[in-house]
Amino acid sequence: MLKIVRIVCALMLSLVSLDAMAGRAVNSVKLNGQTTLTVTAGDTVTVDVNVTTNNNWFGNQWQSSIFTLNGSSYCVDTADVGSNQNATRSFNFTAPSAAGTYNITVSAHRYSNCSWGFWSLNGSITASAVLIVEVGNQPPSDITLSNDQVYVGNATTSANIGSFTTTDADSIASFVYSFVDAGTATDAGSCSSSSDNSRFNLIGAYLQVGSAPLAVGNYNICVQSSDTSGATYKEQFTIQSTNQAPSAISINNSTVSKSGAVSGAPVGTFNSTDPDNSTPYTYTLVGTSQSTTAGSCSTSSGNSEFTISGGALILATNPAVGNYQICVQSKDNYGASFKQNLTISITNLPPTAISISNSSVAKPDVAVNSTIGTLSVTDNDGGTPVTYALVNATASTTSGTCATASGNSQFSINGTELRFAQNSVAGTYAACVKATDSYGASFKQVLNISVTNETPTDISLDNSTIEVGNTGVGATVGLLTTTDADTNDSFTYSLISSGASTNGGSCSASSGNSYFQIDNDGLETQSNLTSGDYVVCVQTQDIAGKKFKKSFTITVDETITATYLDKFDTQSYGNNDGDLPWPSDWIESGDDGDDELGDILITGNQLLVSNNSNSIRRAVDLSSYGTATISFDFRLEDTVGGGESFDLDISHNGSTWTTLKSFSDDDADGSFSINIDDYLTADTQVRINTQSNMESTDHFYINNFAINASGTPVVPEHSYLDLFNTAAYNNNDGQLNWATDWEETGDDDDATDGNIQIIGSELLVSNANTSITRTLDLTNAETAVLSFDYRLEDTVQTGESFDLEVSTDGIIWTLLKAFNTSTPGGSYSVDLNDYREIKTELRISTKAIMEPTDKFYIDTFAVDVTVKVDACYNVWPSPVNKSSTSYFNITQDMENATDNFSVELPLLTTSLPTGTLVYDNFEVTGSTVDFAGTDPVIIYANNVTITGGALNLDSPNPLIIVALNNLDLTGSVIQGRYIQKTH
Number of H-type helices and E-type strands within the chain? 0, 75
- Res 1: pLDDT: 33
Q: Are strands 360-361 and 411-414 parallel, antiparallel or unpaired?
A: unpaired
**Strand extents, DSSP E, 604-731:** 606-610, 615-620, 627-637, 646-651, 658-663, 670-675, 684-690, 699-710, 720-722
CA 171 to chain centre: 82
Residue spans of alpha helices (H) in 775-881: none
In the DSSP assignment, the letter for residue 886 is B
Round to the nearest angstrom and report the end-to-end CA distance of the chain: 141
Identify the CA nearest to 684 among candidates 729, 734, 625, 732: 625
The Cα–Cα gap between 234 and 164 comes to 12
Beta strands in 379-414 (DSSP E): 387-390, 399-400, 411-414
Going through 213-370 in order, the beta strands assigned E by DSSP cover: 217-226, 232-242, 248-251, 255-257, 266-273, 282-285, 294-295, 306-309, 312-315, 322-331, 337-347, 353-356, 360-361
* The pLDDT of residue 59: 53
Per-residue model confidence (pLDDT) at position 948: 61
Q: How far apart are CA 142 and CA 124, in angstroms?
A: 51
**pLDDT, position 12:** 34
Cβ contacts of 44 within 8 Å, gap of 6 or more: 92, 93, 94, 95
633 DSSP β-pair partners: 671, 703
Strand 371-378: give its sheet, edge to edge.
353-356, 371-378, 417-420, 411-414
Query: Measuring CA to CA, which residue among 916, 970, 962, 917 is closest to residue 943?
Result: 962
**Distance of alpha carbon 41 from alpha carbon 97, whole angstroms:** 5
Closest CA to 139 of 166, 165, 164, 177: 166
pTM of the full predicted structure? Answer: 0.37
Q: What is the pLDDT of residue 248?
A: 96
SS3 514: helix
pLDDT for position 980: 47
Q: Following DSSP, what letter does each residue of 405-416 receive, concatenated?
A: -TTGGGEEEETT
DSSP state of 836: -
Give the Å distances, CA to CA, from 340 to 161, 352, 450: 31, 36, 59
Residues 6+ apart with CB under 8 A from 939: 917, 918, 919, 922, 960, 961, 962
Question: Rounded distance, CA 540 to CA 707, Å?
Answer: 40
How many angstroms separate the CA atoms of 974 and 977, rounded?
7
CA atoms within 13 A on the CB side of 354: 31
Q: What is the DSSP string of 925-950?
A: ES-EEEEEEEEEEEEEEEEEEEES-E
In sequence order, the 6+-apart residues with CB closer than 8 A to the CB of 123 are 15, 17, 25
For 239-264, give the DSSP string.
EEEE-----EEEES--EEEGGG--TT
Cβ within 8 Å of residue 337, ≥6 positions away:
245, 246, 292, 293, 294, 295, 329, 330, 331
Average pLDDT, the chain: 83
| Segments of the chain scoring below 50 in pLDDT | 1-22, 57, 117-128, 714-715, 868-891, 975, 977-978, 980-983
Q: Give the three-state DSSP class for 912.
A: strand
CB distance 852 to 767 below 8 Å: yes
Q: Please state, in angstroms and as integers, the Cα–Cα distance from residue 415 to each residue in 400, 436, 653, following that order.
A: 21, 12, 74
Quick: pLDDT tens for 602-615.
Answer: 999 999 999 888 99
Q: What is the pLDDT of residues 191-225, one digit of tens each?
A: 999 999 999 999 999 999 998 888 889 999 999 99
Residue 342, pLDDT score: 97
Q: Could you tell me if 777 and 863 are in contact, meaning their C-beta atoms sit under 8 angstroms apart?
A: no
Amino acid 810 reads: G
The pLDDT value recorded for residue 580 is 80
CA 838-975-979 angle, 5° bins: 55
* CA atoms 198, 203, 207, 213: torsion sign: negative
How far does Cα 126 stand from its chain's mean position?
109
